[in-house]
Structure 1
Amino acid sequence: MRGLIYVSTAACLFAAAAITGAGYVLPVKDVSQSADALVVLGGFGVPRAELAASLFARGAYARVVVTGAGDGDAMRDTLTARGVPERSIVMEPNSRTTQENAINVAAILRAQGLRSAKLVTHWFHARRAIAAFRAAAPEVAFTAASVTPEGSPRWRLGWSSEPQATLSEYVKIVWYAIAHGVFVRLTAEPLGPPA
């Protein structure tokens, strides 16, 4: 019984440290002003679509690619309601994972001759998303813009929004390295475009 208490306590402490440290290792600083396309990843989709619409209104983007099964229609509706022309939106409704997003969108970007893309996702997901997309299409320059809670210090970011999703991101990072050979660089420094 005592051993179970120790293991449970250690697991809770590890989880708390991982969530607290997430704000230092998972976010990606958006270093680009524009790109050929915005790629809006599904899952938690509507806030991502709202950010993408705001970026579209401020920048020069030829396309907005909406990727992911499930919430694609809601994201497209949010984009058009916020002023993104329907003709600028490309739907990719088949992906169920970030890896599938990367593979399927890479084909779209290549077919349309697009050489740079800004991924629009949540702060805790951006680093793995960039790694997956760069592995799928190394010839395309990928950066990210992230949905991030406003006013949260870095140490509170993991607790401010979706702590369960933040914690599961660490597991997904390990899984992507094992299953897909996609290695995510965890660093306190922002991850900019490849050199």
Structure 2
Amino acid sequence: MRKIKKVSMLFVLLFQLTINAQENFEGILKFKIEFQDKTGEMTDEQSKQFVGNKQTYYIKGKKYKSELNGMLKMTTYHEGKDTVFTKMEGMSSLMYSLTSIAEEEVISYEFRQTDKIILGYECKLLEVKTNKGFHQYYFNKDLKVDPETYKEHKSGLWDFFTEKTGGALSILSITDIEDVKSSIELISVNRKKLDDSIFKRPNLLIVKMPED
């Protein structure tokens, strides 16, 4: 269960985008993902099989939903408050964790120039060192949310990233922390109005996400 929590929180973190830079993004984003279990408990092939290699994000204001295409069918719901709910294949319950609790402490950060271009977006780079490892956050300020939206979303460092980048969401995130190394890269942007029902969690028993 400890590994499940790490994977769930990782992909909350890795999501941290519009045609018009003055508009905040609402719609569907798709990413290709790579996930490596540094403990050796899962091989790279097993990680791809169970976690998946594609992620779909639905986002509207403070609400979002994430779907992974692996065998676990991991789906994460954030209904705009202070809680994330995670559902997996074969489970009759939802696991919850609080977004107001930070899993990492930022030690230092630095903005760097980069020549990386993804889907036509020229990226800037924010590198962050934490007490658990490091993150590389590639972004373009044309792809953004209101920076106030996630100022209390400490889980996944969303509050930090959106504050430092003016609300920019990641186009590419590379993470190397403790037991996990991963990357998530944007491959599709579909800007559209979303119905609130998309973000409604299933009516299931709710249990706390295990710590270990």
- Calculate the TM-score normalised by the size of structure 2: 0.29
**How high is the TM-score relative to the length of structure 1?**
0.30
